[in-house]
Amino acid sequence: MRMVDDGPGSPAPGGDDLPDIVDVVMEMGHSLTEVPSPSPLPAHLENLAGRARDYVEAASSANTRRAYASDWRHFSSWCRRQGLEMLAPDPQVVGLYIAACASGAVTGNKNANAVSTIERRLSSLAWNYAQRGQPLDRKDRHIATVMAGIRNKHAAPLRQKEAVLLEDIIAMLETLDRGTLRGLRDRAMLLLGFAGGLRRSEIVALDVGRDQTEDGRGWIEILDKGMLVSLRGKTGWREVEVGRGSSDATCPVVAVQTWLKLARIAHGPLFRRVTGQGKAVGADRLNDQEVARLVKRTALAAGVRGDLSEGERAKLFAGHSLRAGLASSAEVDERYVQKQLGHTSAEMTRRYQRRRDRFRVNLTKASGL
**Counts of helices then strands in the chain (DSSP H, E):** 16, 5
Q: Which residues of 175-187 are buried (b: 16+ CB within 10 A; e: fewer)?
A: ebeeeebbbbbbb
Q: CB neighbours of 81 closer than 8 A, spacing ≥ 6?
A: none
The pLDDT value given to residue 318: 81
The pLDDT value given to residue 16: 37
Q: Which of 104, 84, 119, 113 is nearest to 2 (CA)?
A: 84
The per-residue pLDDT of the chain, averaged, comes to 80
- H helix or E strand, kind and range, residue 221: strand 218-222
Q: Report the range of poorest mean pLDDT among 144-153, 274-283, 288-297.
A: 274-283
Q: CB neighbours of 133 closer than 8 A, spacing ≥ 6?
A: 23, 27
Across 33-58, average pLDDT: 67
Across 1-26, average pLDDT: 41
Choose between 159 and 100: higher pLDDT.
100
**How does pLDDT run across 352-363, given as a tens digit for each residue?**
555 555 566 666
**Residue 367: is its pLDDT beyond 80?**
no
**How does pLDDT run across 123-179, given as a tens digit for each residue?**
999 999 998 889 999 999 999 999 999 999 987 766 677 788 888 999 999 999 988
The pLDDT value given to residue 107: 76
Q: Which of 54-63, 110-119, 350-359 has the highest mean pLDDT?
A: 110-119
Choose between 8 and 60: higher pLDDT.
60
Phi and psi at residue 240, in whole multiples of 5°? -120, 125
Choose between 342 and 44: higher pLDDT.
44
* Band of pLDDT at residue 369, cut at 50, 70 and 90: low
Give the separation between CA 275 and CA 273, rounded to whole angstroms: 6
Give the separation between CA 232 and CA 164, rounded to whole angstroms: 25
**How does pLDDT run across 176-192, given as a tens digit for each residue?**
998 899 999 999 999 99
Report the sign of the C-alpha dihedral through residues 175, 178, 181, 186, in that order. positive
Q: Are 6 and 60 in contact (CB under 8 A)?
A: no
Q: Which of 50-59, 270-279, 336-345 has the highest mean pLDDT?
A: 270-279
Give the separation between CA 340 and CA 233, rounded to whole angstroms: 13
**% of the chain with per-residue pLDDT over 90:** 43
**Residue 15: is its pLDDT beyond 90?**
no
**How does pLDDT run across 228-244, given as a tens digit for each residue?**
999 887 667 888 889 89
**How does pLDDT run across 294-346, given as a tens digit for each residue?**
999 999 999 988 888 888 888 888 877 888 766 666 655 666 666 666 656 66
Give the separation between CA 210 and CA 214, rounded to whole angstroms: 11
Question: What DSSP string describes 122-157?
Answer: HHHHHHHHHHTT----TTSHHHHHHHHHHHHHH---
The pLDDT value given to residue 28: 29
